[in-house]
């Protein structure tokens, strides 16, 4: 499966839990952003979440086949940060700030998969390199579509400035096309 076991293999092993975590975050945060925006404005985030969900299944299989440790501690920490964001931070920031924060996470994921692709090629792991290549080709346009949605906030300034999550649980949960 691998041409050589080198420092590059060690790097790949260290990147893999972060790749898994970034995909878990994409599922969760992109789904939340899609739910917060009504209609077509939420569709790009929903598509990223759907792609991340499918990618996770493949990544889990590839991680097992390579003997990479499951990201148990990282997964727990990631969940804590995600829940803290949802339960605390998103109650303090505007909807557009939350959306841009999710965009930062998606772009981080893209850079991470670009590096993982290069390291997979360096180690001779053609299956993982092909996965990364396909992922990059699919996710790149999805990220760009999500970035285009930022203009939605310009057309809906009240929704943009509303809290991403209401302070009280019975507040408005979805941003509408006002």
* 12 is a domain residue: yes
Q: How far is CA 35 from the centre of its chain?
A: 15
Q: How many domains does the chain have?
A: 1
Angle 43-66/126-148 helices, nearest 10 degrees?
160
Condensed to tens digits (0 to 9), the pLDDT of residues 37-75 reads: 877 889 999 999 999 999 999 999 999 999 987 665 555
Cα 12 from Cα 119, distance rounded (Å): 6
Nearest to 149 by CA among 25, 30, 55, 21: 30
* 24 is a domain residue: yes
* 174 is a domain residue: no
* 104 is a domain residue: yes
Average pLDDT on 121-131 reads: 96
* 83 is a domain residue: yes
Instruction: Calculate the alpha carbon distances from 108 to 31, 32, 103, 152 in Å.
Output: 17, 18, 9, 23
- Say whether 5 sits in a helix, a strand or coil: coil
Tokens 């992109």 sit at which residue? 30
* 145 is a domain residue: yes
Nearest to 16 by CA among 136, 112, 103: 112
Band of residue 76 on the pLDDT scale cut at 50, 70, 90: low
Residue 121: domain span = 7-161
Condensed to tens digits (0 to 9), the pLDDT of residues 144-159 reads: 999 999 999 999 999 8
The CATH number of the domain holding residue 107 is: 1.20.1260.10
Average pLDDT on 70-84 reads: 55
Cα 164 from Cα 139, distance rounded (Å): 24
For 55, counting Cβ atoms within 10 Å of its Cβ (0-12 exposed, 13-18 middle, 19+ buried), the class is buried
Give the model's pLDDT for residue 91: 46
Higher pLDDT, 83 or 128: 128
Give the model's pLDDT for residue 30: 95
* 1 is a domain residue: no
Q: Is the pLDDT of residue 111 over 60?
A: yes
Q: Token pair of 122, please?
A: 């360096």
* 28 is a domain residue: yes
């Amino acid at each position: 499966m691998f041409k050589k076991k080198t420092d590059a293999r060690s790097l790949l092993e260290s990147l893999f839990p972060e790749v898994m975590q970034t995909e878990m975050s994409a599922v969760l945060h992109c789904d939340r952003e899609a739910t917060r925006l009504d209609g077509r404005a939420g569709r790009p985030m929903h598509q990223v979440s759907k792609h991340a969900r499918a990618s996770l299944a493949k990544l889990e299989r590839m991680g097992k086949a390579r003997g990479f440790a499951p990201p148990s501690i990282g997964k727990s920490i990631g969940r804590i940060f995600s829940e803290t964001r949802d339960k605390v931070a998103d109650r303090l920031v505007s909807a557009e700030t939350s959306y841009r924060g999710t965009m930062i996470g998606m772009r981080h994921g893209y850079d991470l998969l670009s590096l993982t692709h290069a390291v997979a090629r360096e180690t001779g792991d053609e299956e993982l390199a092909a996965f990364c290549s396909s992922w990059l080709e699919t996710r790149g346009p999805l990220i760009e579509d999500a970035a285009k949605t930022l203009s939605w906030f310009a057309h809906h300034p009240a929704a943009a400035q509303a809290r991403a999550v209401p302070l009280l649980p019975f507040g408005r949960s979805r941003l509408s096309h006002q």
